[in-house]
């Protein structure tokens, strides 16, 4: 067992409790949040790959127990996982490390921009980090469901902690949908437990591979897939939940929005990998994934084009970009899935850059309405240029990371006989480019309105530093994609 693996979840959980405990001690919570935020990416990098069996209860096949009856060794009990298992794979390492970077930079910007830090807000940020890390590590569907529900509550709390207009109404709407999506997901997991006798994903995938070819069980398996698929749509914000998810992003503070979108992305990845392992042999799996992914991409960019609030625009674009991840799994094969996951990683970095970068516009003017803005390039040209480059990275313009991942998905579509999908990807990228450039012009380049007032004169250096670091990461991943595609491809090879 590798004791470092559960620490990836335990440390942010404990930090969250202490931050809430010392909520009135501004200096203490700032120091604690900074240290833990910096330590989490380091812990992720130094942790070795492997498995952790809680309670030490590993499968009998790995226990080296002598003289076991052949009745046991020849049965499914011999390989059954009796305890919650965490698997630390190269995919988990890449995404949890990226999450750690996003969380640290968001906290860094927040602590240096606010005179008084909020203990409850930082509590929710670290609880969010713990919950989605557990989702990605867990090889147990029920454990994933528990942290799925925790993540839903935390997202609601982050919205409530915001000072945005109608944030309470948005939080209530999201909670109502959570009361629908969560139970449906749990029902799907319960059906799998009933027909497979386990909630361990490895055990279930082995059982389903036999049941899917049994006529009397195939319908039940399909029903379980539809329920879990619905829960996945809710967790990730894909249609029909794209509207509420984009509203959630736009109602949080920039630091909160960056954490929220990272939570949605990792939830999407954790559940799509679990579904691929369990239901990947179903005939409809790839078709459903391609359909919902393309719908998400088209709806995302279409809704973004109609927005006059740039926070809603970025929110819709980020939700639409999630479709590229599902598209990789829908096309299938090591290269396509690697490309989809690489695009997911890139979106996490780029969207964080845009939420925090464009958040400075609200910081200076207290408005996000593009009709009331203009001429802001004169306030801080360097920030404006970095935001523009971040938008180009999202649209897939070279030499940034978005170009590399989208090009890989186009190549995968062409290589597998889906030229129509390749054309759609290119058109969506072009549309994203025009939507962002139009918004950029409205905010930074058009003449400044006479009635535009500034509530602050300058942008904190911490935010400039954060956006610069994120932009450098985008450039590095664009020039050297193998830094993440190689470990991701290595993990995917073990799933196929």
**Structural domain includes residue 178:** no
**Confidence label for 294 from pLDDT (cuts 50, 70 and 90):** very high
Q: Which among 239, 236, 336 has a CA at the least distance from the CA of 288?
A: 239
**Structural domain includes residue 324:** yes
Exposed e or buried b per residue across 435-467, where buried means at least 16 C-beta atoms within 10 angstroms of its C-beta:
bbeebbebbbeeeeeeeeeeeeeebeeebbebb
Question: What are the tens digits of pLDDT across the range 319-374?
Answer: 899 999 999 999 989 999 999 999 999 999 999 999 999 999 999 998 989 999 99
Q: What is the structure's pLDDT at 240?
A: 85
DSSP 304-346: HHT-SBHHHHHHHHHHHHHHHHHHHHHH-SHHHHHHHHHHHHH
Domain that holds residue 327: 284-496
Cα–Cα distance for residue pair 160/123, rounded to 1 Å: 13
**Structural domain includes residue 304:** yes
Confidence check: pLDDT of 210 > 70: yes
**Structural domain includes residue 393:** yes
- What are residue 85's DSSP bridge partners? 53
Q: What is the structure's pLDDT at 235?
A: 83
Q: How far apart are the first and last CA of the chain?
A: 25
Domain count, the chain: 1
Q: What percent of the chain has pLDDT over 70?
A: 94
**Confidence label for 157 from pLDDT (cuts 50, 70 and 90):** confident
**Confidence label for 227 from pLDDT (cuts 50, 70 and 90):** very high
**Structural domain includes residue 157:** no
Confidence check: pLDDT of 133 > 80: yes
**Structural domain includes residue 363:** yes
**Structural domain includes residue 321:** yes
Question: What are the tens digits of pLDDT across the range 4-27?
Answer: 899 999 999 999 999 988 877 888
Q: Which among 247, 230, 248 has a CA at the least distance from the CA of 239?
A: 230
Confidence check: pLDDT of 242 > 90: no
Q: What is the structure's pLDDT at 71?
A: 57
**Structural domain includes residue 273:** no
Arithmetic mean of pLDDT, 166-188: 86
Query: If you average pLDDT over every residue of the chain, what do you get?
Result: 89
Count of beta carbons in the 10 Å neighbourhood of residue 235: 29
pTM: 0.93
Q: What is the structure's pLDDT at 74?
A: 62
């Amino acid at each position: 067992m590798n004791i470092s693996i559960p620490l990836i979840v335990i440390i942010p959980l404990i930090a969250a409790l202490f931050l809430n405990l010392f909520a009135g001690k501004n200096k203490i919570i700032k120091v604690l949040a900074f240290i833990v935020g910096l330590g989490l990416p380091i812990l992720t990098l130094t942790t070795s790959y492997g498995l952790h069996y809680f309670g030490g209860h590993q499968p009998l096949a790995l226990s080296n127990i002598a003289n076991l009856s052949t009745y046991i060794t020849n049965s499914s009990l011999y390989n059954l996982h009796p305890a919650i298992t965490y698997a630390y794979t190269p995919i988990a390492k890449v995404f949890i490390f990226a999450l750690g970077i996003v969380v640290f930079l968001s906290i860094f910007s927040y602590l240096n921009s606010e005179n008084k830090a909020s203990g409850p807000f930082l509590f929710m940020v670290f609880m969010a980090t713990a919950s989605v890390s557990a989702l990605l590590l867990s090889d147990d569907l029920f454990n994933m469901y528990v942290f799925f529900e925790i993540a839903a509550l935390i997202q609601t709390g982050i919205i409530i902690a915001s000072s945005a207009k109608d944030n309470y109404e948005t939080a209530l709407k999201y909670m109502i949908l959570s009361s629908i999506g969560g139970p449906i997901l749990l029902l799907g997991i319960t059906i799998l437990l009933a027909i497979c006798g386990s909630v361990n994903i490895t055990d279930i995938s082995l059982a389903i591979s036999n049941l899917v070819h049994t006529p009397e069980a195939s319908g039940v398996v399909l029903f379980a897939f539809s329920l879990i698929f619905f829960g996945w749509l809710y967790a990730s914000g894909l249609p029909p939940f794209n509207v509420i998810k984009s509203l959630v992003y736009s109602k949080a503070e920039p630091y909160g929005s960056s954490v929220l979108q990272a939570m949605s992305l990792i939830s999407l990845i954790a559940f799509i990998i679990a579904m691929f392992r369990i239901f990947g042999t179903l005939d409809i799996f790839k078709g459903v994934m391609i359909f919902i992914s393309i719908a998400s991409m088209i709806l995302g960019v279409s809704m973004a084009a109609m927005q006059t609030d740039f926070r809603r625009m970025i929110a819709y674009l980020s939700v639409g970009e999630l479709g590229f991840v599902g598209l990789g799994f829908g096309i299938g094969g090591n290269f396509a899935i690697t490309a989809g996951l690489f695009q997911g990683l890139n979106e996490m970095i780029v969207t964080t850059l845009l939420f925090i970068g464009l958040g400075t516009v609200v910081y200076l003017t207290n408005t996000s309405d593009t009709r009331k803005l203009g001429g802001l390039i004169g306030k801080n040209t360097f920030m404006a240029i970095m935001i523009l480059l971040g938008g180009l990275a999202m649209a897939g313009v070279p030499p940034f990371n978005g170009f590399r991942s989208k090009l890989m998905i186009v190549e995968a579509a062409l290589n597998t006989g889906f030229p129509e999908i390749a054309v759609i990807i290119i058109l969506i990228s072009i549309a994203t480019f025009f939507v962002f450039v139009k918004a950029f012009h409205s905010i930074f380049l058009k003449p400044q309105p006479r009635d535009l007032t500034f509530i602050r004169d300058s942008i904190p250096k911490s935010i400039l530093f954060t956006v610069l670091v994120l932009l450098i990461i985008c450039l590095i991943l664009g020039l050297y994609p193998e830094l993440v595609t190689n470990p991701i491809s290595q993990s995917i090879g073990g799933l196929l």
